[in-house]
Structures are given as structure tokens and as C-alpha cells.
A and B are shown apart, each in its own frame.
Chain A
């Protein structure tokens, strides 16, 4: 049962995060916390998304998710980033009913199992919500806020 949650890909990203660390310059920044568990994430983006940097504290799911976010959206155009963001959010809200598209989500498909653990969906979405807010502050719209139920 846990194998579905803690995929090797997730544990790899957790242990060896990609692109971790806040970088300058940036156009928008957002700091999000999960008030029930204290997980924190800060995401910075440049207006052209050529730079998406982050730093945070938290569980394997939230931190691996930030690493995957960075890998997937940095350097993408806004339309692609919005598509990826939408696909990831949709996957997390699917309760495990969606077959994720690896073409769009890359390593993000490893989070399909997380969607079956309602208490952990918030963890996976934390960096993505911070990214959306940071992008908005940089004048970039990558999608609407989902209602997170957990």
C-alpha cells in the first residue's frame, strides 16, 4: 500500500532535490504554509518563467513535489506551464481515478499514488499553489486555484 505513495521517483527527488535554493533576480515570490503540519515552501519566478526557484521545509511528498515542479515548469512558456499545472492539480484531485500523461507530467506521474491519500494531497499541492501565486505576482496567470479538500 505504501509503495503506491512512496514511489522511488518521489524518494529520489526528496533525497536529491533538483534546483533547490532561492535565486535572484525574480519577479514574483510566494510563501505558503500548511497550517496543520507546518510544512513551508517559498517559490520565486521570473516573468518569462526562465527561472523557477524554491526553498522549503517539509515532508518527502511536499519537497519532492517542489523538485518536480521546478523540473517541469522552469524554462517553459506560459501556456505549457499552465497546462502542466492544470494536469498536476487534476491528477491530485482525482482520488487515483486518472491515468496521468507522462508526456505532460514527466516525473509528476509518480504522484498518482498520492492522490489516493487524501491527507497527503495538500502536501503535494503546496509548492504548486505557491508557484501559481508567485507567477500571479509576476503578472503571469498559470491557472485557477483549485479547492483543496483533505
Chain B
């Protein structure tokens, strides 16, 4: 079955609306994706018909809720090739998943002075600040890979950067700014050589690429529901089960315990150990529905569609005078997130003019200020695509940029 973008768009009610008198052209999916009726319906039905708390009620509603919640976990596990649903820990978002990992690994490894944590200059702040704080708390040293002029990780210092002092390597899988999809095979092989753990921030990759954690080369990954057709408030930490089983808890409270006495507490096995308190039940079920939707279309087909759109967009943007693309200039090694500058016009102004034409892009430093600094700009304009993006929307972006140049020319 071939991928039919017009058919896909019919599942997304938001595309019926206008923005500032123009049809909505939504080019900000790297920020948050739109939601299909299939996800919205499941969430609404759950709230209306099945709502009960999970993992603690003997009554029917509680049982049905628990089945739906755990069912979502199982389908998400299958979606990423996890060995078992127990490897999938529900969190609030990627940020919480990474904070969980940073806190727990820091404890588990007894991180201290002389130890090193390696990240990169390409990180979203969510995969940067938690490691900065961990190093500040423990006295460990934070080190990082730089970015090449063409927007790839500079792997040249790999053997020096990842050494016997390295305990954790945490990298972005796909850059939320440059669109670069990092081939982490060499880095993870090197990390394994020195006995360091590897975490990947897959916030931008799991929604767009077929991902199989068995071949990814990571011990832990983080991703978030709202960038992959699901709701906000639900994210995932995936980890190898034997690693999760060793990791101490992060947040403490109900649901994560085995036995509690006034003298002390023992903890549940993963994933419950890391899910203190009533979880975002409806949101997890919504993410399960999103995964069903993506699985129905096939991630290979989704990825192919986005590659075509990205190729079209790179051509279109290169033909607008004064536009400079940051990151890989061709489709090789990149996904459907394209950041650019318009000569002489601040991204805020670019975004404002585009919005007046119904074209929704992100402007600013994209929570990745070091990436902007690397390319010596205070901010960038970013267009990001998804399974519902059409060539006509790219044309609208290009026309919008002509308008930008008219206003500021």
C-alpha cells in the first residue's frame, strides 16, 4: 500500500482550520506534532468509559485502566524493538527521562572527581543541563564532541574524548536544530571498549525513523509522546533490563515500592521502580494509540515520505536568495528538520511574517543555544516536517520567505 499524504491529513482535524485568514501550514512538528482523531478518540473514550487508577484497584474500572495502560506499554515496547515491556519506563517527557537517568546513573556509578561524562555541542538543553548538574554535584568532568561546519558530529577526537575515565556518553540521535541523524556506531563501539554506558536522546528520531533498540548501540534512550502524534505529559525512558534492574530510584513515593516500614523501604522491579505516583494514564494510552497509528502506516513509509519532503524543501530553500541552511545541505545523514537564516532579517521577524501568512515555524535558539553559538548566530528559523507535510506547504513557506524579503528588503 502506498503512502497517501492527503488521506493521512484527513485524520488530523486541525488542518481544517485557518490561521490569520490562510490555510494552516504547520511546519513545527519538531516542536510538537499534531494529533490524529484516532489518538484523540482513544483518550476521550478512556476518560468517558474506563477511567480508574492503575495497578492498585480490584474493581473493574481499575482493571480495565491497568490493562489499557500496560497494553500501551507493550505496544510501545514492540514499536522500538524492546526485549520486553518491562524495559519501557513511562515519564513525563524526554527531559524527565534524561534527568532520571542522570540522577540514577550518578548514584549507581558513584560518579566522582576523575570520572568523565561525554555529550556533544549538538545537544538540546535537556540532554545537556542534567549532565552539567550531575557533574557539578559529583565533581565529575563534562566533556563534549564539537560540530563540523557541515553540521555533523566531529568524531576526530573520539579516542581521546572517550577514554578509561569515561563513565557515561549521552548524545542526541537526531538534532532538533540541524536535522542531523547521528550515526553513533563508532562512538558506541568506543564507549563499549572503555566500559562506558551509552544514552541516546531519541526525541527527534523515534517519531520519524524506524528505530530498533537491539541494533541502535545504546543502553538507554529517551523520547517523548507529543512529538509522535501522542499527547503532552508522557515520555519514555527505555533501558536494557539488566541495567534498569541495577539502577536506584529517582522519584520516590507510591507505586514504586516493594515493602515500606517506618525503618526503611525496598523498591519494586523496573519499570514500576521509576514510576512513582499516579502516572499520566490517559496520556500513556494516547501514546499507545499514536504508536498504533504509526505502525499502521509503517515507519519505513513515514520515513520515505519525510525524506521526499525534505529533499523538496532543501531545493526550495536553496533557491530563495539570501537563505543560508544550517546543517547538512543534502538529504544524506539528515531528517526533516531544516534550520536556516534569512540574510539581514532576524528569525523573530521571519517567523512573524510567515505567521501572518498562516505558516507556522519555530524561531529562536530551539533550546540548543550552543548550536546557535557554533554557527555564530543568536537564533535561527526552523521548518520541521512530518508524515502530514505536503510539497504545497513547502511552496507556501518559500512564498512566505519572498514576502519576508519584501518587508525587510
Contacts and interface: CB of A to CB of B under 8 A. Distances in A.
B407 interface: yes
Contacts of A117: 352
B20 A120 contact: no
B352 A38 contact: no
Interface residue SS majority, chain B? helix
A11 interface: yes
A40 B352 contact: no
Contact of B365 (A37, A58, A63): A37
A123 B378 contact: no
A61 interface: yes
Question: Which interface residue of A11, A37, A57, A61 has the most chain B CB atoms within 10 A?
Answer: A37
Interface in A54-95: 57-61, 63
A118 B407 CA distance: 21
B128 to A, nearest CB: 15
A2 B356 contact: yes
A109 to B, nearest CB: 20
A1 B352 CA distance: 11
Contacts of B369: 38
B372 interface: yes
A38 B372 contact: yes
A7 to B, nearest CB: 11
Contacts of A57: 378
A90 to B, nearest CB: 23
Interface in B373-409: 378-379, 407-408
B408 A37 contact: no
Contact of A38 (B345, B365, B408): B365
Interface string A110-140: 0000000100100100000000000000000
Contact of A37 (B20, B353, B363): B363
Interface string A39-64: 11000000000000000011111010
A37 B363 CA distance: 7
A9 interface: no
B253 to A, nearest CB: 32
Interface in B329-380: 345-349, 352-353, 356, 363-365, 369, 372, 378-379
A37 B364 contact: yes
B211 to A, nearest CB: 30
A11 B364 CA distance: 20
A5 interface: yes
Interface string B1-39: 000000000000000000010000000000000000000
Given A2-B407, A57-B378, 6 more contacts: A2-B356, A6-B407, A38-B378, A38-B379, A60-B345, A120-B348
Interface of A: 1-2, 5-6, 11, 36-40, 57-61, 63, 117, 120, 123
- Report the 10 A-B pairs with minimum CB-CB distance, sorted nearest first: A59-B348, A59-B346, A38-B378, A37-B364, A2-B356, A38-B365, A38-B379, A60-B349, A57-B378, A59-B349
